[in-house]
Structure 1
Amino acid sequence: MTATLSACGNTGNGSGDVTLRLVAADYGNGPANSSEKYWDRLVKGFEASHPGIDVDVSIYSWKDIDREVAAMVKKGQAPDIAQIDAYADYAEAGKLYRADEMLSIRTQANFLPSLAEAGSLDRTQYGLPFVASTRLLFYNKKLFAQAGLDAPKTWDDIRDDAALLKQRGVTCPFALPLGPEEPQAEATMWMLSGGGGLIDDSGSYEIDSAENVRTFDWLKTNLVDKGLVGPVAPGRLDRQKAFDAFTDGKVGMLNGHPTLMQEAERKGVSVGMVPLPGTDGPSEGSLGVADWIMGFKQNGHRVPLGKFFDYLFTDKNVIDFADEYDLLPVTDSASAAMESDARFKPLWKFLAALPNSQIYPYGKTSWARSSESFKRNIGKAVEPNGSPEDVLGKIARDSAAAEHTK
């Protein structure tokens, strides 16, 4: 789906002295909640308070937007602003303005520190975090109550609870989506809860660390080999399919993000949410994910870009978008406002988890290729004859090769 909106009749050749072209992703799942509505309101407000600057917005589906922006840039027709899921390749190619070239000091300083760092290449911020998400363990309260279970706190709790749920006829005691949709998220959550992760303290990949190998050995032995992960093999189970099964009441536990909460409750599934269980207790950190917005240099619109971004990142605009899609704000002030407003109580646990979350290494131009290796390989680690050590080693080698290929 592609939609173009022009506030107040602006077609991109309107009365303004400058027209900014903005390309953004659609977070909705249909016309009723398309992101077009958010941008229409925002652009009308911006243009009313900034005469002389028009904004022309095109909305693309997530399936198409990265390809569309790449094609625009390749043709020498880069948009002024792109809201997509990666910035590093464009920053490394010298196509983006630095954050400090566009934003006021107040706006730049207001980003959550972990997200500002994740938006940086070689210690310089180019990617502006647009919206964020983090993960918690979701469990079906009804199924747990029927089985007399409390919320899990450790891996052993997950294993034991899943075994009891299976005995009581639950179709999928624990959903483990390691299919090609987004397995790097599921894998990273488990790595973090096992004391490992994607990146070490020096910023190098540690995908095949001893901690990560132990984590996947445990998953294979204690959940997969015991038949506790449902009728679909993890390597063939995509995240959305797992989420759909959870909202249908067929899954006991899975790792989820805020948007799943709304859909489950809409379908009448009572949801419990706790920090990711670890080996000895709840994990201190979680996985953090962000989408990005950035300013391209090509048209030389540095000053009007700064005015637009300063407007975009006001608390009202940040909270309006996060609220619409059950996502998390990216600024300190908007986060504080949501944490003090009872309307957003369902998101408080996610807000609390975000500051200590490990964010994907977005600043690495190799991350896209590392993610692809996860998608191709990680499900094999828990197959009947799979070797976690060999599979993680393969992904680590692919990631290292991508790191050294420019």
Structure 2
Amino acid sequence: MVSALGMTAVLGGCGLTGDSGDVTLRLVAADYGDSAANSSEKYWSELVETYEADHPGVKIEVSVHSWNDVDRKVKEMVEAGDAPDMAQIGAYADYADAGLLYPADELLSIPVQADFAGQFATAGQIDGTQYGMPFAASTRLLFYNKTLFAEAGLTPPTTWEELAADAAALKAEGVKYPYALPLGPEEAQAETMQWLLSGGGGYTDSSGGYGIDSPENVETFTWLRDELVGKGLTGPVAPGRLNRADAFAAFANGQVGMLNGHPSLMKIAENKGVKFGMVPMPGVDGESKATMGVADWMLAFRQNGHKEEVGEFLDFVYSDENVLGFSREYDLLPVTNSAYEVMSAADEDKALQPFLEELPLAELYPVGRTSWAQVAAEVKKRIGQAVAPGGSPSAVLGKLQTTALDAESTADADR
């Protein structure tokens, strides 16, 4: 979901309010494109043009920023006392906790709010009230290089033991990265969560609190250290220094046997002519019972008012036509039940079918916690040490658990 673009564009309405009865709504949005040809500017420009034609008293001003910049841009606007009416970004909890956001039920019509997939609606809640409106989603699958697997006489793994055996066979064939394990600072929290879930654990425990240093999680990272990294099955770059983008590029160059990937990797690999397959993440004793899901969020700030106009516009944004259009343009998964049903049955969405099948099983980051951003940053910084030679998974995960509990205590004290 990270755009290669650094551009900013302003679309629609020209920022002017026109007649005294007109309302201008400002939306700051993230760019999901990887070139000027498919920048999100194009998507929003067409959507805004259609909406304004039917709502002559409302102008929509959209500024599109790369994923490298968009969260910071919104933060700066809010801190300057100039919050946008809406922001489509990666997190919502801090703003909701500070009382800056409208709840979804004050904005959306009942059918629109009720159409959100259950796990995403729940993930958008704080204390039972939904402030984060899911906008786009993805899940993860294990990608494997069909050519390399055929040359080594392998079938895709369904268990950790099979994954390690396949990786060993690929190494024997001279594959550079038998299993690419990106635990570098770009997105280590994602690879980490996928492995934790496959080992029967996760960032949180059954009571909903942080459980980062649970026995299941320690066992998972001990296995990774000993059975993959320690046996030289993860390639020449230490996992703590391997970023996701580099791992994806290596896969597209035919240098990776297996890695966890999201839907955008399909296009990257296809463009380089790599023949690949996708299967659910293996678990300890069989296919993992849960997969990682990621959602990006739409927020509506209270500062400027315009609750009615914002709600009407968001009802339009979440119409089936627009949810389907956005999901198909960027190979993402829909966040509404109705669009999910359409895509699950449509031939044109056949390539996304494996990811769609995983969506009901998807578990999300604990994004409703204001502490999560700090915890994720610490995971990115530290988790690679857990699988390094001589590394201690229990010590590293214990430090992360302490960080999480301290961050929770600070957040509670600030309320």
Q: TM-score, normalised by structure 1?
A: 0.98
Instruction: Give the match for residue 141 of structure 2.
Output: 136
Q: Does 1:337 align with 2:317?
A: no
Match of 1:366 among 354, 371, 385: 371
Instruction: Give the match for residue 322 of structure 1.
Output: 327
Instruction: Give the match for residue 269 of structure 1.
Output: 274
Match of 2:122 among 92, 117, 121: 117
Structure-1 separation of matches of 2:71 and 2:193:
23
SS at match of 1:404: helix
List gaps (5 residues or longer) in structure 1.
none
Comparing 72-81 with 10-19, greater Cα deviation is found at: 10-19
Identical residues among aligned pairs (%) = 58
Task: Within 5 Å, give how 1:2-41 maps onto structure 2.
Answer: 2-7=7-12, 10-15=14-19, 17-41=22-46
Instruction: Give the match for residue 104 of structure 1.
Output: 109
Structure-1 separation of matches of 2:32 and 2:409:
34
- CA gap of 1:267–1:397, structure 2 versus 1, over 3 A, is same
SS at match of 1:211: helix
Task: Within 5 Å, give how 1:127-166 maps onto structure 2.
Answer: 127-166=132-171
Structure-2 separation of matches of 1:57 and 1:310:
17
Instruction: Give the match for residue 83 of structure 2.
Output: 78
Q: Does 1:310 align with 2:296?
A: no
Task: Within 5 Å, give how 1:225-304 maps onto structure 2.
Answer: 225-304=230-309
Give how far 1:2 is off.
3.8
- The one-letter code matched in structure 2 to 1:129 is P
Give how far 1:50 is off.
1.8
CA contact (8 A) 1:2 1:58 kept: no
Structure-2 separation of matches of 1:270 and 1:67:
38
CA contact (8 A) 2:15 2:24 kept: no
Give how far 1:51 is off.
2.1
Q: Deviations over 1:158-193 (max 9, x none)?
A: 100000011011111000000000101001100000
Give how far 1:323 is off.
1.0
List gaps (5 residues or longer) in structure 2.
1-5
SS at match of 1:288: strand
Structure-2 separation of matches of 1:3 and 1:379:
34
SS at match of 1:82: strand
For these two proteins, the number of residue pairs brought into alignment is 405
Match of 1:392 among 392, 397, 410: 397
SS at match of 1:188: helix
CA contact (8 A) 1:14 1:54 kept: no
SS at match of 1:47: helix
Give how far 1:97 is off.
0.2
SS at match of 2:322: helix
Instruction: Give the match for residue 59 of structure 1.
Output: 64
Structure-2 separation of matches of 1:3 and 1:173:
39
- The one-letter code matched in structure 2 to 1:222 is E
SS at match of 1:336: helix
Structure-2 separation of matches of 1:281 and 1:133:
22
Give how far 1:321 is off.
1.0
- CA gap of 1:300–1:192, structure 2 versus 1, over 3 A, is same
Q: Does 1:93 align with 2:95?
A: no
CA contact (8 A) 2:30 2:89 kept: yes
Q: TM-score, normalised by structure 2?
A: 0.96
- The one-letter code matched in structure 1 to 2:54 is S
Give how far 1:255 is off.
0.5
Give how far 1:13 is off.
2.5
SS at match of 1:129: strand
Structure-1 separation of matches of 2:347 and 2:85:
37
